[in-house]
Amino acid sequence: MPEPEAAPAALALSFEVEGRRITGLDWGGSGPDVLLLHPNGFCAGIFDPVVAHLTDRFRCFGLDLCGHGGSDGPADLDRFTMEGIAEDVATVLDHRPGSSVRVVGHSLGGVVATLLAAIRPQRVAQLVLLEPVIIPPPPLSDRTEGPSPMSEAAGRRRRVWTSRDEMRERFRTVAPLSGFDPAALEAYLRHGVRDRPDGQVELACDPAMEAAVFACTPGPRGGWPAWEHLPRLTAPLTIVSGRDTNLPDGLFEQQARHAGCDHLRADGGHLFPQEQPVATAALLASLLR
């Protein structure tokens, strides 16, 4: 695929769901509808460099999940569920014309995509899950709650910066963003950061929201219900993991066996779509139908 000079212009989307605002982007394109759901701490715009190579054959749109990007957060960080986030997406689809969509879900987006397919099976024609954080429940005797290193790290994340230039220089040298393709880093700075009245900038996703998602992922409010749904999904499903993922060895093979679907590997780590956007687009183009 030839690399375009810039990502396609996107139409801003905004919906009201039970008194809360859910935002997103519509990149347009021609062909079947493809919905892209992003990882924790990011927003729909992180897919700009991937979508740039897909709109010649698909109509692409993405949503900012609850508390991310421009979407309002939950009323209570200690009570929200990923099933509730999936309900938000389902409600948006109910108001969108058309029959069914192909859904690409990355990390947190993979959990939400799976739950969406369980809630609205008639609206999901196909699922491609990229490094979905769908964690199988442990035995009842081992279900204890404790601190999450990922959650604690996210909670300490710096939210306010003097400028995007400062962020860019910092993120070029600090993992995981240091591994991003330059276009993906620019997409993050464009969509995942917002201007403040005082002239500074801040992360669009509050670190407290990111931390809350990490904290509930391995639990009943997070990925456990998605695990239960995997073998019951009716839409065709493919799971893709990064060869250098930092998640537990065998997790994605275990998911694929549980779901009875194919498991493929792509070059890169957990955030391989941001590390390798052109290769990721080529892979998605080969899988989506």
| Confidence band for 149, pLDDT divided at 50, 70 and 90 | confident
pLDDT for the residue 2 = 42
Q: What is the mean pLDDT of the chain?
A: 94
Token output for 65: 């999940």
Residues 110, 114, 119, 122: is their CA dihedral positive or negative? positive
DSSP 33-79: EEEEEPPTT--GGGGHHHHTTTTTT-EEEEE--TTSTTS---S-TTT
pLDDT given for residue 140 in this prediction = 60
Once rounded to an integer, what is the mean pLDDT over residues 118-141?
A: 92
144: left (phi over 0), alpha (psi -120 to 50) or beta: beta
Task: Indicate whether 183 pLDDT > 50.
Answer: yes
pLDDT at res. 67: 98
The tokens describing 85, both together, are 């986030």
- Please tell me the pTM assigned to this model: 0.95
Q: Which domains does the chain have, with CATH numbers?
A: 11-147+220-287 (3.40.50.1820)
pLDDT tens for each residue of 228-252: 999 999 999 999 999 999 999 899 9
Average of per-residue pLDDT across 90-99: 89
pLDDT band at 138 (very low <50, low <70, confident <90, very high): confident
pLDDT at 99: 79
Average of pLDDT values for 247-269?
A: 97
Query: What's the pLDDT score for residue 220?
Result: 94
- Over the stretch 44-54, which tens digit does the pLDDT of each residue have? 999 999 999 99
- Whether the pLDDT of residue 193 is over 90: the answer is yes
Q: What is the pLDDT of residue 139?
A: 77
Question: Mean pLDDT, to the nearest integer, of 115-143?
Answer: 90
Phi, psi torsion values for 233, nearest 5 degrees: -65, 140
Give the C-alpha separation, 124 to 38, whole Å.
17
The more confidently predicted of residues 270 and 144 is 270
How far does Cα 162 stand from its chain's mean position?
Answer: 27
**Is the pLDDT confidence value at 147 over 80?**
no
Q: pLDDT for 28-77, tens place per residue?
A: 999 999 999 999 999 999 999 999 999 999 999 999 999 999 999 999 99
pLDDT(3) > 50? no
